[in-house]
């Protein structure tokens, strides 16, 4: 099957499975989304959703966040992992938002990626989910599955994002990246993926990917 045919098949099947794609991270505005996405690095969405209500109860705006100490932020977010780095980033980016952007989240990749703790993937999620700007954030699920499906070489996440943007229609990006994540969690886990569940890999996957299925 050619790559364009694979792309059509993936879009069709994922649209059938996931016609609705709610944002996995609970949030109330762009600032709370930015903080939640930052916390999700090397942490599950489930754990982030358990911790953010505790954090936002104390500080749900940049102005309130900078009234906390880095140590106070760290104590709350510790279960999310990487708390020394994340707590410092949350405090510092909140200060920058106040000083440079009138306490609002900027709507540009360049401005977001200049914030402490905000890399390209985090910026892509915020641009996509907060502002509706077409983006294709690549997490471990997406990188692994698009490699398994022969959409990308799997060289690295940068290449995977380039290949995904080249192959899939731009108007599909924002929804499709969530659909792939949902499929990975439900049908194609990284550990012990099953032939009877991961039907997309069975249909269009590489020989190597199919051989990994139990």
Which active-site residues does the annotation give? 121, 139
3-state secondary structure the chain: CCHHHHHHHHHHHHHHHCCCCCCCCCCCCHHHHHHHHHHCCCCCHHHHHHHHHHHHHHCCCHHHHCCCCHHHHHHHHHHHCCHHHHHHHHHHHHHHHHHHHCCCCCCCHHHHHCCCCCCHHHHHHHHHHHHCCCCCCCCHHHHHHHHHCCCCCCCCHHHHHHHHHHHCCHHHHHHHHHHHHHHHHHCCCCCCCCCCCCHHHHHHCCHHHHHHCC
Instruction: Please calculate the CA angle 18-124-81 and round it to the nearest 5 degrees.
Output: 90
Contact call for residues 69 and 92 (beta carbons, < 8 A): no
């Amino acid at each position: 099957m050619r790559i364009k045919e694979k792309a059509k098949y993936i879009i069709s099947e994922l649209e059938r499975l996931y016609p609705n794609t709610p944002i996995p991270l609970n949030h109330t505005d762009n600032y709370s989304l930015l903080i939640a996405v930052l916390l999700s690095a090397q942490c599950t969405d489930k754990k982030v959703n358990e911790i953010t209500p505790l954090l936002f109860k104390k500080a749900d705006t940049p102005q309130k966040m900078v009234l906390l100490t880095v140590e106070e932020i760290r104590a709350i977010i510790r279960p999310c992992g990487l708390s020394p780095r994340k707590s410092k980033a949350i405090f510092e980016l909140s200060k920058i938002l106040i000083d440079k952007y009138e306490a609002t989240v900027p709507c540009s990749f360049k401005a977001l990626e200049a914030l402490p703790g905000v890399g390209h993937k985090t910026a892509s999620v915020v641009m996509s989910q907060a502002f509706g700007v077409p983006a294709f954030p690549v997490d471990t699920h997406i990188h692994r599955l698009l490699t398994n499906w022969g959409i990308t070489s799997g060289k690295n996440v940068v290449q995977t994002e380039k290949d995904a943007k080249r192959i899939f229609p731009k108007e599909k990006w924002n929804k499709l990246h969530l659909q792939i994540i949902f499929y990975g969690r439900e049908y194609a886990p990284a550990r012990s993926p099953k032939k009877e569940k991961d039907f997309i890999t069975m249909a269009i996957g590489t020989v190597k990917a199919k051989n990994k299925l139990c």
